[in-house]
Amino acid sequence: MQPAPIAILGATGFIGRHLAARLQAKGIPVTGISRSPKADVAGISRWQTPDTLDLAHHQAVVNLSGERVDCRWTPAQKIILERSRIEVTERLVGHLRSLDPASRPAVLLNGSGIGYYGDGGDTPLDESAPAGTDFLAKLCVDWEDAALEATTFDTRVVLLRTGVVLGKGGAAFDKLRKLFALGLGGNLGSGRQWMPWIHLDDEISAIVHAIETPILHGPLNLAAPQPERNADFTRKLAAALHRPAFFHAPSFALKLALGEFANALLTGQRAVPAALTTSGLTFRHPTLDSALADLLG
Ligand SMILES: NC(=O)c1ccc[n+]([C@@H]2O[C@H](COP(=O)([O-])OP(=O)(O)OC[C@H]3O[C@@H](n4cnc5c(N)ncnc54)[C@H](OP(=O)(O)O)[C@@H]3O)[C@@H](O)[C@H]2O)c1
């Protein structure tokens, strides 16, 4: 018998499309939910739009919707960033609530970010660490709260606090690779801030692991066990590309160019994936050297 389908909101995105392909390879039908379904996404059995949502008889829902945060956060852009996460999640949870309990998906995996913790300094941060107070942290808190509403009707909710996902085709990695390949790489600010990163393969494995592990609920840090300081990340990426990395983007210049978003680059989180490792996930790329060798080798 075919397993029940899994639905992905944001299935056209970087993480969503790779998750769809992995689930399809496991023989699981995938329902893609998109404002503009794209036929070129491999692994999608059928499409729905947010207006035609019907998630009855799905085993799980993964919500990866959200406007990209790597932009200047004008007041208008902040509203777009909030609505694309909080309102989308509220509508999704409202739909789940409306379903007959017998046909309702058992688990909601909802996007979030390691930015939840704000500026963590040098303190190792597991899932019990408190939330930060900056814009990104508050956005994650509100996004998570919207998803946690589904626990009121006994749906298991997992919050995917994701670090910077390193994978080909991902905006962050592609930008960094191009910049460093041109010899234009360098430290951001002091370079002492921690960068929680995760290889795309491990990101997808972690999401599948969370779907398949019923004891997991609440926040999960999706970040490699060995985060790097920005300066070490810079040195290792430059070495892997055999390029120098002499440039240095001073804090004031980043703030001038990027506004408030610069703070997200100049501060960081020494996140540790405590819940994933204690629940048995083995990282394929626990170190940056291994991830870069795979991505650039
Ligand atoms: N990639 C990372 O390094 C990273 C790190 C931390 C957290 N995250 C979070 O994880 C989620 C997925 O990341 P990703 O890299 O796959 O993102 P992505 O490639 O930008 O895809 C996000 C998806 O969200 C949907 N979306 C965009 N704007 C929307 C809006 N205004 N309203 C409703 N839906 C909208 C889009 O789907 P349609 O256009 O098809 O509707 C898009 O495919 C995001 O929420 C992101 O913030 C990602």
Cα(188)–Cα(215) distance, rounded to whole angstroms?
39
Gyration radius (Cα) of the chain, Å: 19
Which of the four pLDDT bands, split at 50, 70 and 90, describes residue 86? Answer: very high
pLDDT tens readout for residues 191-228: 999 999 999 999 999 999 999 999 999 999 999 999 99
* Ligand 1 geometric centre to CA of 193 (Å): 25
User: Of residues 297 and 24, which shows the higher confidence score?
Assistant: 24
Residue 242's pLDDT band, with cuts at 50, 70 and 90, is very high
Start-to-end CA span in the chain (Å): 40
Residue 39: the pLDDT is: 80
Q: Per-residue pLDDT averaged across 227-244, rounded?
A: 95
SS (H, E, C) 145-163: HHHHHHHHHCCEEEEEEEC
At a CB cut-off of 8 Å and minimum separation 6, what does 27 contact?
2, 3
**pLDDT attached to residue 250:** 87
Given this model, what pLDDT does residue 193 score?
A: 97
Residues 167 and 173 sit within 8 Å (Cβ to Cβ): yes
- Mean pLDDT, range 228-239, rounded to an integer: 96
Is pLDDT at 246 greater than 90 in this prediction? no
- Look up residue 236 and give its two tokens: 């290792």
pLDDT digits (tens, 9 = 90+) for 247-257: 898 898 888 88
Name which of 1-15, 166-180, 240-254, 266-280 the model is least confident about. 240-254
Question: Using a 6 Å cutoff on CB, does residue 35 contact ligand 1?
Answer: yes
Mean of all residue pLDDT scores within the chain:
96
Instruction: Compute the average pLDDT of residues 237-251.
Output: 91
Q: Which amino acid is at 76?
A: A
With a 6 A CB cut-off, is 111 part of the ligand 1 pocket? Answer: yes
Q: Which CATH number fits domain 6-166+198-224+271-284: 3.40.50.150, 3.40.50.720, 1.10.3720.10, 3.40.640.10?
A: 3.40.50.720
User: Which residues in 74-103 are b (16+ Cβ under 10 Å) and which e?
Assistant: eeebeeebbebbbebbbebbebbeebeeee
User: What integer pLDDT is reported at residue 30 of this predicted model?
Assistant: 98
Q: Which of 22, 67, 168 for mutating ligand 1's site (highest number of atoms within 8 Å of CB)?
A: 67
Nearest CA to ligand 1 atom 48: 162
In this structure, the strands spanning 46-48 and 30-33 are parallel
pTM for the full predicted model: 0.97
- Whether 40 has a pLDDT exceeding 90, the answer reads no
Sign of CA dihedral 72, 74, 80, 83: positive
- Measured from the CB, is residue 26 less than 6 Å from ligand 1? no
187: its two tokens: 């430290």
Split at pLDDT 50, 70, 90, the class of 114 is very high
pLDDT attached to residue 257: 86
